[in-house]
């Protein structure tokens, strides 16, 4: 029996991400609707979620906190303080409090919640909405039971990874969460180049999607090989692929990515300053 089967899970906010998680955990039988409760700022959305999924609700965030074993904060960063600050005294030591909010650092959570409540920061990318997300979590504790609970809770929306400190969390946020946006940027250049040769936009995008999909499938089917091993199978000395790769190295494509990722990390840190207790 799942360790979650006897717990009440309360979501503060029933927006896009909370609903994606809800759909996945219910369809994978990780929780039953009777275990899940929501609050939301606008009443209409809350009513819709209740009637669609058969979950419960509370009128206020304080009531939800009081009735939950695990509280999941799923509001936008700009709404975080209003949603949580008035109710921090309600958090209990036996609870797990998970923040999904981007831009709210773990240290901010820690300074807000002074009880020894188990606090966890979780980030996922948007592929969570199709159960193919990559989920990272950090809680600054040596607590395998807590790791297992988080993995169980989020495994239905994607692969779950434990991160060891806030720097790893920041790098994860950029490479994996913003990463989806970066992948689409690269796919766009790729498809546009094909279009310049007369292939329609629709076909170009499909060809590129299938190329990326094929590369991922090769990786999945050859788990013993590294990226560079698989790449070397495409490259022959003085061949076509080698010519393209040599140019990419000369143009320092790796530097373009590295600098861009670092700029995104800097922006993440800047945004964190706007959410202070």
Ligand X SMILES: NC(=O)c1ccc[n+]([C@@H]2O[C@H](COP(=O)([O-])OP(=O)(O)OC[C@H]3O[C@@H](n4cnc5c(N)ncnc54)[C@H](OP(=O)(O)O)[C@@H]3O)[C@@H](O)[C@H]2O)c1
Question: What are the residues binding ligand X (CB under 6 A)?
Answer: 12-18, 39-42, 45, 61, 74-77, 79, 82-83, 100-102, 123-124, 126, 128, 177
Closest distance between ligand X and the C-beta of residue 123, in Å? 6
Closest distance between ligand X and the C-beta of residue 154, in Å? 12
The nearer residue to ligand X, 79 or 195, going by C-beta atoms, is 79
Closest distance between ligand X and the C-beta of residue 167, in Å? 19
∠ Cα 124 189 249 (to 5°): 90
The nearer residue to ligand X, 218 or 265, going by C-beta atoms, is 265
Closest distance between ligand X and the C-beta of residue 134, in Å? 11
Q: 3-class secondary structure for 227-244?
A: HHHHHHCCCCCCCHHHHH
Helix (H) or strand (E) holding 136: strand 133-138
The backbone region for 46, taken as left when phi is positive above 0, alpha when psi lies in -120 to 50, beta otherwise, is alpha
For residue 141, the SS3 value is: coil
The nearer residue to ligand X, 78 or 211, going by C-beta atoms, is 78
The nearer residue to ligand X, 101 or 150, going by C-beta atoms, is 101
Nearest-angstrom CA–CA distance, 167 and 266 = 11
Nearest-angstrom CA–CA distance, 154 and 21 = 8
Please give the residue whose beta carbon sits closest to ligand X in the complex: 15
Closest distance between ligand X and the C-beta of residue 125, in Å? 6
The nearer residue to ligand X, 158 or 191, going by C-beta atoms, is 158
């Amino acid at each position: 029996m799942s360790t979650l089967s006897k717990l009440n899970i309360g979501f503060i906010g029933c927006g896009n991400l909370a609903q994606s998680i809800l759909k996945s955990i219910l369809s994978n039988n990780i929780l039953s609707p009777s275990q899940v409760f929501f609050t939301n700022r606008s009443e209409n959305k809350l009513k819709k979620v209740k009637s669609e999924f058969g979950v419960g609700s509370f009128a206020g965030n304080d009531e939800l906190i009081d009735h939950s074993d695990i509280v999941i904060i799923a509001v936008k960063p700009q709404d975080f303080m209003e949603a949580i600050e008035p109710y921090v005294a309600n958090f209990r030591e036996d609870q797990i409090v998970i923040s999904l909010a981007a831009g709210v650092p773990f240290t901010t959570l820690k300074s807000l919640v002074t009880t020894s409540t188990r606090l966890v920061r979780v980030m996922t990318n948007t592929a969570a909405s199709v159960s193919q997300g990559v989920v990272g979590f950090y809680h600054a504790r040596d607590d395998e039971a807590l790791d297992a609970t988080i993995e169980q809770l989020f495994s239905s929306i994607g692969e779950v990874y434990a991160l060891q400190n806030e720097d790893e969390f920041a790098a994860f946020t950029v490479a994996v969460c913003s990463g989806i946006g970066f992948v689409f940027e690269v796919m766009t250049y790729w498809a546009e180049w094909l279009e310049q040769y007369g292939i329609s936009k629709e076909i170009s995008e499909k060809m590129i999607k299938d190329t990326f999909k094929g590369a991922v499938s090769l990786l999945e089917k050859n788990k013993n090989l590294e990226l560079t091993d698989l790449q070397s199978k495409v490259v022959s000395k003085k061949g076509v692929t080698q010519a393209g790769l040599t140019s990419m190295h000369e143009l320092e494509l790796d530097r373009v990515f590295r600098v861009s990722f670092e700029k995104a990390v800097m922006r993440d840190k800047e945004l964190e300053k706007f959410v202070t207790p």
